[in-house]
Amino acid sequence: MAYMLYWYPKCGTCRKAKRWLDEHGIDVQTVHLVDEPLTKEKLAELHRKSGLPLKKFFNTSGMKYRELGLKDKLDRASEDEMLDWLASDGMLVKRPILTDGERVVLGFREQDYEAFFAKKA
């Protein structure tokens, strides 16, 4: 499967990730998280493959997160509720999300990307 990068092009971290991928000659398909929000099912799949707590999928520094008061709601929310929130607005999703269909990297840290691609080789 091709590499998929779920991103928001105006996000500085997303642009850093895309630049890193381009500099390393890694071809990725991109999906704009706001124009094409992830479905609840896709989010559940990415969450399962990431091995991370679902809370990590929230963009906790975003305005939408603060507007909805999610900081106080996440601890009591069910997984189903969290997935509904994430699917309702791409701005709630932590980004970028990189996947090869089996593994998932959330956010961008150069060492995480290096490890992700080193394992593939």
Mean of the pLDDT values across residues 54-71?
95
Say how far apart CA 17 and CA 79 lie, in whole Å.
28
Mapped onto helix, strand or coil, the DSSP state of residue 104 is: strand
Q: Which domain holds residue 88?
A: 3-120
Residue 6 — very low, low, confident or very high, per pLDDT cuts 50/70/90? Answer: very high
Q: What is the CATH number of the domain that holds 72?
A: 3.40.30.10
- Separation between Cα atoms, residue 102 and residue 77, nearest integer Å: 27
Distance of CA 75 to the CA centre of its chain: 20
Rounded mean pLDDT, 31-56? 97
**Residue 108 C-alpha from the chain's centroid:** 9
**Cβ atoms of residues 91 and 34 within 8 Å:** yes
Res. 121: pLDDT tops 60: no
Mean pLDDT of the chain: 95
Q: Is 67 exposed, middle or buried (0-12, 13-18, 19+ CB in 10 A)?
A: exposed
Give how many domains the chain has, as a whole number: 1
| Band (26; pLDDT cuts 50, 70, 90) | very high
Would you state the structure tokens that stand for residue 78, as one six-digit string? 């069910």
pLDDT band at 120 (very low <50, low <70, confident <90, very high): low
The residue-averaged pLDDT of 33-41 equals 96
